[in-house]
């Protein structure tokens, strides 16, 4: 399981969107990125659909996920 506490691009605030991990400063759950990518979306699609999320945030989340998986 990924430890999102170590990723500066995300935050978890009790009571906000059910306590989900969100892209910092938004109400967009991190899991939405992975669900959309799994369904064939491109990063540019995701950014267009969720304009509050920055490319830098997406890249940081993907790097964090990659590091976590390679450390497992």
Q: Give the domain CATH number at 42.
A: 1.10.10.10
Domain span holding position 63: 4-71
Average pLDDT value for residue range 5-33: 96
Burial of residue 26 (CB within 10 Å: 0-12, 13-18, 19+) is: middle
For 13-25, write each residue's pLDDT tens digit. Answer: 999 999 999 999 9
How would residue 69 be classed by pLDDT, with cut points 50, 70 and 90? confident
Q: Which residue has the tokens 């959309």?
A: 36
Total domains in the fold of the chain: 1
């Amino acid at each position: 399981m990924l430890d999102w506490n170590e990723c500066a691009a995300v935050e978890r605030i009790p009571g906000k969107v059910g306590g989900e991990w969100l892209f910092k400063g938004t109400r967009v759950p991190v899991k939405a990125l992975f669900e959309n990518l799994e369904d064939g979306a491109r990063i540019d699609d995701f950014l267009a659909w969720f304009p509050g999320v920055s490319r830098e945030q997406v890249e940081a989340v993907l790097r964090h996920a990659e590091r976590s998986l390679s450390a497992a």
